[in-house]
Amino acid sequence: VQLQASGGGSVQPGGSLRISCAASGFTLDYNGIGWFRQAPGQEREWVSYIGSSAETTYYTDSVKGRFTISKDNAKNTVYLQMNNLKPEDTAAYYCARSIWDHAEGVPVTTPPVSWGQGTQVTVSS
């Protein structure tokens, strides 16, 4: 199981970025993916989740209405379109195979967990 996040960069507040998560060793047809982020000195937090069905998506409150998660099963890739970026969105973004915990309302990573190097998103004027 491998996941590689890419597409990060530096943008000004209000700008947009689309980051990608390329999966290998398993198929997105039957697996969900969670996007997570970690800012320096802070704990990793979940950002968004997409299920095996692309219609199943969830977002943490701070990004609702600004971020959109999607996937292309043919490319085995998940995307996170981030619009109206804010300085507080600055973090390293990671993707991981996950399932949705309906009781807790968060994605839970499924083993083996492979965070990879992540992709850095910096929002600054």
Task: Give the tens place of pLDDT for each residue, 56-70.
Answer: 999 999 999 999 999
Whether 109 shows a pLDDT value over 80: the answer reads yes
- Name the average pLDDT for the chain: 95
Q: Cα 26 vs. chain centroid, distance in angstroms?
A: 17
Per DSSP, the three-state class of 114 is coil
Query: What pLDDT does 114 receive?
Result: 78
Q: Which residues are paired to 71 by β-bridges? A: 78
Whether 41 shows a pLDDT value over 80: the answer reads yes
Q: What band does 82 get if pLDDT is binned at 50, 70 and 90?
A: very high
| Least trusted range by pLDDT, from 15-24, 36-45, 104-113 | 104-113
Of 3, 100, 83, 111, nearest in space to 49 by CA:
100
Query: What pLDDT does 1 receive?
Result: 84
Whether 115 shows a pLDDT value over 90: the answer reads no
Determine whether 15 is exposed, middle or buried from the number of CB atoms within 10 Å of its CB (0-12, 13-18, 19+): middle
d(CA 12, CA 2): 31
Query: What pLDDT does 91 receive?
Result: 98
Q: What band does 113 get if pLDDT is binned at 50, 70 and 90?
A: confident
